[in-house]
């Protein structure tokens, strides 16, 4: 078992107490300081009285000096049984009475009778000595009643021995006086002297001894006489004379008084403060006693020496070597442990408290299986508190004592019954309780932080150790008071809760209930802030769904304890000063954890029953907010009306809140219709709200939501009118920008693009920084361009570049390209050409591959259309650049393109056109056969070259240019056939030959036309497959009707031009998918909205 003293070193305890003094922060410790009003007043601690404490063990009550008399060692005569002695006494008395005084035989009778008296006195003396050992055992066992009974019996035996000795003395005197010739007169002298010594007549005894030595110098009683002289001087305090006498006795080692003489010699040295010689002589006595183990007197003497030697050792021996020394002279464990205990006690008597404590600690270490360790520690506590009561060391020792009790209670020790452990535990409990309250009271008196910290440890370990005593209730309350003073709120609350658990209706119940609540007030920070009730309403114009009713959350453990504390306060202190605070705390806790029904009930009670309290206005506010969060609008409305009617809260801010809340509830009712998707009721509700409360802060939101609901009903006209009204009554609303944008969206949805453009443009003018400004301007630009309002479209595009060029270079590039297209659509060829050129120089790198290839082709077509050799050359160079750019692109880049592939196909087509035009220009008009053949070959080669280029166009997979290429291949064949058919007939031929020649030409031309028809068919088939009809598909159809009139007929009506949207800005989804976040609503029909749209739309920017 590990030593108990290893658990906490003194240094460790200093650290713990220092930490406690810091961590257990005290409140104000000024003795004159007074608690704040309504704050808790610390209970004045009553120091606990002690009734079960034992006095300090001491040797001071023992008789100083030897406990044996010389008589016990002077003679060695066997004692007859008491019965035989009684018979002999009767016979001798009869003989003495019947024998004349002159008869010498009478002296023998007298001597024998005196011997019997002496023997009987000796018997009682020995019995008293034996009883003394028994008394020691009672003392060791802590049996004070048995010890007192034992001592009384021993004193009776000693008194009887004294009486018998006095009778014996008188008989000896009679012999000496009446029979001087008695043969054993030296023995009579000696017995007379020894008996006189025993009865206290020492001077007479010494005279008898001197007469004995003078008359009988060779008597065998010389050592005994010398011993008596030593005894006399010893008792008189003449230590040097006694020393001489005892030293003479030591010269007779064979004498029966030799051991006792040495024993007294040792005591003489002790009294002379020669402690080393004392110990040496005591050891000699022990050695002598060990040689006679069967002699009861010697055994008793050895036991006495072992006790007495402790005193001498204490004067010169080291406490650290004491146990080893005692074990050498007393091998039995019980003996050397008792000697060690005596040394600890004697050190205490000598006020050598540190040495006493060392010995007790050694005893604890050596006796760890015994519950006596608790007693040892008890004495250590006594030593320490005597030395320095209010110290860290005292706390340490008290805690160790209680820890030993815990071990004993846990069955650590085997001898609890034998050592009467309940008695030990009772006195330790009382001591611990006394010191805990003493420290606490002293801390209260001095306001000393260290004392509070020390008392904290004493209470803590006391309550851990003594949980089953009648004092637990009181001590737990005191502990709570101390913890509260230390501001250790959690532990204080737990202590007070334990007080209530122990005795719900006890002496300290009200104080404990209040203290528990106040402690939890410190632990849990209960907010006293008002709720912003209106924040729970939908302020985003219906864009978000109504939040769900909060689900009650489980209260954390600390809050559960707080609520229990509050409930106890309400139960046990119904008229307490802190009742409103307690109720508010309960309600606020319910509120914070969404137990809103319970919270609302308590808040309402505070607001109406305690309306003058500072928390009434906060409670009223939270009462309404709880109902609001519960979405219990009926009760919320009733509560608001009650506050307006009763007016319990004299607070202007709250009254204003109630008024505003009344409006807000009406607003909330409208939002409930929205949540239920009752769009018609919601729209009408919001419009009515705006009419009833024109000054409300929710007017813009009401109109905003009304427009949204009309829009959901697909009633765009009313939506527009509501939004226009919103702009008129709340032009600075944060919803104004969104409203203006969505009016444009409404017209967009109605396909009234001119009005949509106008509102989008107004939106951008007023809110150019808005996140939707780019979309609005993009839409307006596209609509203006689509409407043919080119100047407005260009102005919008230029405005776009002004606002967003730096932010979106790709879109800026697209805008720049769109302007070029508009110039082209306006027929402003040179402006378009210049714009395309600028696009390639400044924006192509930020634009798409599509636009880059388109711009190249546009520039090339401009050069083509300008004509002339230089124009054709420049055009072909641009077309070649276009194709090179296309060819350098990856497959992924090509796959992503749309119009770019058209542009590349067109560039290739135009290169074919150049070849085709040259081929078509070749004529076959020679009458010379050789020349004719040469020209025919040249034309065929040119047409073939053009055909190959056109076939490459088809590879691009673009239906428009594939149709064109197929048509051109067919027209090439047709041109060649016509040219061949119309070539001149040689003049040298006869008419018949000429006819034959013309027939041959026709046959060949027809064969060539068959190829043309095949290409036209393929062109038309491609157009039909792609559902793409253009000028080339029409020309192919016309050509087929001319060449194969039986199979084909000319188209009788114009086909619609291919319709496809240009890639651009129209990103809003109003046409096909109306989203809640993009569209809002209004009043009136769609037609009215269109007719009543203002000519000019302006709006102040939202603040």
pLDDT digits (tens, 9 = 90+) for 1011-1070: 888 888 888 888 888 888 888 889 888 988 888 888 887 775 444 444 333 333 333 332
Q: For the beta carbon of residue 1088, count every other beta carbon within 10 angstroms.
A: 15
Query: 977-1001 b/e with 16+ CB inside 10 Å = b?
Result: bbbbbebeeeeeeeeeeeeeeeeeb
Question: What is the 8-class DSSP label of residue 321?
Answer: G
CA distance 213 to 1017: 177
pLDDT at 1077: 38
CA distance 1020 to 910: 20
CA distance 513 to 885: 90
CA distance 313 to 323: 11
> Among candidates 716, 787, 767, which has minimal Cα distance to 745?
716
Structure tokens at 999: 């027939």
This prediction has a pTM of: 0.53
pLDDT at 69: 60
CB of 803 within 8 A of CB of 773? yes
Residues whose CB falls within 8 Å of the CB of residue 678, separated by 6 or more in sequence, listed in order? none
CA distance 1012 to 1039: 9
Query: 354-386 b/e with 16+ CB inside 10 Å = b?
Result: ebbbbbbbbbbbbbbebbbbbbbbbbbbbbbbe
Instruction: Describe the crossing of helices 809-825 and 773-786 by its angle, rounded to 10 degrees.
Output: 20
> Among candidates 659, 721, 667, 711, which has minimal Cα distance to 689?
667
- Longest Cα–Cα distance of the chain, Å, equals 230
Distances (CA, A) of 365 to 12, 336, 360, 998: 20, 14, 9, 145
CB of 820 within 8 A of CB of 839? yes
Length of the chain: 1103
CA distance 696 to 699: 6
CA distance 1103 to 1080: 21
Burial classification of residue 333, based on how many CB atoms lie within 10 Å of its CB (0-12 exposed, 13-18 middle, 19 or more buried): exposed
Residue linked to tokens 């007479």: 204
Low-confidence ranges of the chain (pLDDT < 50): 1-37, 76-79, 535, 538-542, 1053-1084, 1086, 1089-1103
Question: What is the 8-class DSSP label of residue 842?
Answer: I
CA distance 411 to 402: 14
Question: What is the 8-class DSSP label of residue 1058?
Answer: P
> Among candidates 371, 355, 366, which has minimal Cα distance to 418?
371
CA distance 1011 to 1005: 10
CA distance 575 to 166: 86
pLDDT at 405: 92
pLDDT at 495: 93
Question: What is the 8-class DSSP label of residue 533?
Answer: G
Structure tokens at 1050: 């000319």
pLDDT at 965: 86
CA distance 860 to 882: 9
CA distance 242 to 256: 19
CB of 730 within 8 A of CB of 700? yes
Quote the distance between the C-alpha of residue 243 and its chain's center. 81
CB of 431 within 8 A of CB of 394? no
Quote the distance between the C-alpha of residue 739 and its chain's center. 48
Burial classification of residue 769, based on how many CB atoms lie within 10 Å of its CB (0-12 exposed, 13-18 middle, 19 or more buried): exposed
pLDDT at 1095: 45
Q: For the beta carbon of residue 177, count every other beta carbon within 10 angstroms.
A: 8
pLDDT at 441: 92
Using DSSP's 3-state secondary structure scheme, residue 1002 falls into: helix
Q: For the beta carbon of residue 935, count every other beta carbon within 10 angstroms.
A: 18
pLDDT at 1093: 47
CB of 938 within 8 A of CB of 922? yes
Residues whose CB falls within 8 Å of the CB of residue 8, separated by 6 or more in sequence, listed in order? 16, 396, 399, 400
Distances (CA, A) of 944 to 314, 913, 919, 968, 1091: 139, 13, 9, 12, 63
Residues whose CB falls within 8 Å of the CB of residue 910, separated by 6 or more in sequence, listed in order? 857, 860, 861, 864, 875, 876, 879
pLDDT at 5: 44
pLDDT at 75: 52
Among the residues of 76-143, which ranges form H helices? Answer: 82-98, 104-140
pLDDT at 539: 45
Residue linked to tokens 């060539």: 1008
Residues whose CB falls within 8 Å of the CB of residue 782, separated by 6 or more in sequence, listed in order? 793, 1064, 1065, 1066
CA distance 532 to 529: 9
Residues whose CB falls within 8 Å of the CB of residue 1057, separated by 6 or more in sequence, listed in order? 1030
Using DSSP's 3-state secondary structure scheme, residue 928 falls into: coil
CB of 213 within 8 A of CB of 228? no
> Among candidates 898, 880, 1037, 904, which has minimal Cα distance to 966?
1037
C-alpha torsion angle, residues 506, 508, 509, 515 (rounded to 10)? -160
Q: What is the DSSP string of 442-501?
A: HHHHHT-HHHHHHHHHHHHHHHHH--SSTTHHHHHHHHHHHHHHTT-HHHHHHHHHHHHH
CB of 24 within 8 A of CB of 452? yes
Distances (CA, A) of 22 to 10, 448, 481, 1016: 18, 13, 18, 104
pLDDT at 1081: 38
């Amino acid at each position: 078992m590990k030593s108990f003293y290893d658990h906490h070193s003194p240094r460790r305890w200093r650290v713990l107490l220092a930490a406690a003094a810091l961590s257990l922060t005290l409140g104000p410790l000024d003795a004159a300081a007074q608690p704040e009003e309504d704050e808790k007043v610390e209970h004045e601690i009553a120091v606990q009285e002690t009734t079960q404490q034992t006095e300090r063990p001491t040797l001071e009550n023992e008789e100083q000096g030897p406990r044996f008399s010389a008589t016990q060692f002077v003679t060695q005569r066997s004692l007859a049984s008491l019965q035989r002695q009684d018979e002999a006494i009767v016979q001798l008395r009869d003989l003495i009475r019947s024998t004349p005084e002159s008869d010498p035989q009478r002296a023998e009778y007298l001597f024998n009778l005196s011997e019997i008296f002496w023997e009987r006195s000796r018997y009682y003396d020995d019995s008293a000595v034996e009883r003394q050992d028994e008394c020691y055992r009672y003392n060791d066992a802590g049996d004070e009643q048995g010890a007192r009974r034992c001592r009384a019996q021993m004193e009776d035996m000693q008194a009887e021995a004294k009486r018998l000795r006095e009778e014996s003395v008188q008989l000896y005197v009679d012999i000496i006086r009446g029979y001087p010739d008695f043969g054993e007169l030296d023995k009579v002298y000696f017995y007379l002297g020894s008996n006189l010594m025993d009865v206290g007549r020492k001077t007479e005894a010494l005279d008898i001894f001197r007469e004995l030595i003078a008359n009988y110098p060779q008597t065998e009683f010389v050592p005994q006489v010398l011993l008596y002289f030593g005894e006399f001087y010893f008792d008189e305090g003449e230590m040097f004379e006694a020393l001489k006498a005892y030293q003479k006795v030591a010269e007779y080692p064979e004498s029966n008084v030799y051991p006792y003489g040495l024993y007294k010699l040792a005591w003489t040295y002790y009294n002379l403060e020669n402690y080393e010689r004392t110990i040496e002589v005591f050891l000699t006595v022990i050695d002598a006693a060990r040689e006679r183990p069967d002699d009861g007197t010697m055994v008793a003497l050895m036991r006495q020496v072992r006790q007495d030697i402790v005193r001498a050792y204490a004067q010169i021996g080291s406490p650290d070597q004491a146990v080893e020394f005692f074990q050498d002279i007393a091998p039995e464990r019980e003996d050397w442990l008792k000697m060690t205990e005596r040394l600890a006690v004697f050190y205490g008597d000598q006020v050598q408290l540190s040495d006493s404590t060392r010995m007790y600690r050694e005893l604890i270490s050596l006796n760890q299986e015994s519950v006596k360790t608790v007693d040892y520690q008890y004495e250590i506590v006594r030593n320490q508190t005597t030395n320095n009561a209010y110290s860290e060391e005292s706390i340490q020792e008290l805690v160790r004592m209680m820890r030993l009790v815990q071990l004993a209670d846990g069955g650590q020790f085997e001898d609890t019954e034998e050592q009467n452990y309940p008695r030990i535990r009772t006195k330790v409990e009382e001591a611990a309780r006394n010191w805990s309250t003493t420290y606490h009271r002293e801390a209260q008196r001095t306001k000393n932080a260290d004392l509070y910290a020390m008392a904290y440890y004493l209470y803590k370990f006391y309550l851990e150790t003594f949980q089953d005593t009648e004092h637990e209730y009181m001590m737990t309350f005191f502990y709570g008071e101390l913890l509260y003073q230390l501001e250790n709120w959690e532990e204080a609350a737990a202590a007070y809760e334990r007080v209530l658990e122990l005795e719900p209706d006890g002496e300290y119940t009200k104080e404990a209930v209040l203290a528990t609540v106040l402690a939890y007030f410190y632990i849990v920070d209960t907010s006293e802030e008002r709720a912003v009730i209106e924040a729970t309403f939908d302020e985003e114009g219906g864009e978000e769904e109504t939040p769900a009713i909060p689900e009650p959350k489980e209260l954390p453990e600390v809050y559960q304890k707080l609520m229990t504390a509050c409930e106890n306060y309400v139960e046990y202190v119904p008229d307490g000063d802190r009742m409103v605070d307690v109720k508010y705390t309960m309600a606020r806790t319910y509120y914070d954890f969404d137990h809103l029904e319970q919270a609302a009930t308590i808040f309402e009670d505070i607001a109406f029953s305690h309306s003058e309290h500072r928390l009434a206005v906060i409670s009223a506010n939270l009462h309404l907010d709880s109902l609001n969060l519960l979405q219990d609008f009926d009760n919320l409305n009733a509560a608001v009306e009650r506050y307006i009617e009763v007016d319990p809260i004299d607070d202007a801010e709250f009254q204003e809140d109630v008024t505003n809340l009344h409006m807000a509830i009406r607003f909330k009712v409208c939002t409930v219709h929205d949540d239920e998707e009752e769009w018609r009721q919601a729209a009408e509700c919001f419009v009515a709200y705006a009419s009833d409360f024109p000054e409300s802060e929710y007017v813009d939101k009401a109109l905003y939501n009304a427009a949204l609901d009309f829009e959901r009903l697909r009633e765009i006209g009313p939506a527009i009118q509501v939004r226009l009204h919103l702009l008129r009554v709340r032009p600075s609303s944060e919803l104004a920008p969104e409203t203006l944008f969505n009016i444009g969206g409404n017209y967009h949805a109605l396909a009234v693009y001119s009005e949509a453009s106008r509102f989008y443009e107004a939106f951008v003018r007023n809110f150019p920084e808005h996140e939707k400004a780019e979309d609005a301007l993009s839409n307006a630009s596209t609509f203006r361009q689509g409407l043919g309002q080119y100047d407005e479209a260009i102005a919008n595009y230029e405005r776009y570049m002004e606002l967003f060029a730096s932010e979106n270079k790709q879109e800026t590039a697209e805008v720049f390209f769109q302007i070029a297209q508009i110039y082209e659509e306006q027929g402003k060829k040179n402006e378009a050409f210049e714009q395309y050129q600028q696009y390639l120089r400044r924006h192509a790198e930020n634009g798409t591959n599509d636009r880059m290839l388109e711009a190249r082709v546009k520039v090339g077509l401009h050069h083509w259309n300008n004509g002339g050799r230089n124009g054709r050359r420049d055009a072909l160079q641009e077309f070649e650049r276009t194709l090179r750019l296309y060819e350098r692109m990856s497959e992924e880049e090509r796959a992503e393109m749309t119009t770019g592939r058209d542009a590349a196909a067109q560039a290739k087509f135009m290169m074919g056109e150049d070849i085709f035009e040259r081929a078509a220009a070749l004529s076959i008009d020679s009458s010379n056969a050789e020349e004719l053949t040469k020209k025919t070959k040249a034309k065929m080669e040119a047409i073939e070259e053009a055909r190959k280029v056109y076939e490459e166009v088809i590879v691009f997979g673009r239906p428009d240019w594939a149709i064109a290429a197929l048509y051109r291949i067919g027209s090439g064949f047709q041109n060649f056939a016509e040219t061949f058919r119309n070539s001149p007939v040689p003049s040298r031929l006869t008419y018949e030959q000429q006819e034959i020649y013309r027939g041959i030409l026709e046959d060949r031309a027809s064969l060539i036309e068959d190829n043309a028809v095949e290409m036209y068919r393929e062109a038309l088939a491609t157009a039909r497959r792609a559902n793409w009809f253009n000028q080339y598909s029409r020309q192919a159809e016309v050509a087929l009707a001319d060449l194969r009139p039986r199979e084909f007929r000319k188209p009788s009506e114009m086909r619609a031009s291919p319709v496809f949207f240009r890639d651009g800005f129209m990103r809003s989804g109003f046409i096909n998918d109306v989203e809640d976040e993009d569209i809002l609503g209004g009043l009136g029909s769609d037609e009215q909205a269109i007719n009543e749209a203002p000519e000019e739309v302006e709006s102040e920017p939202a603040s």
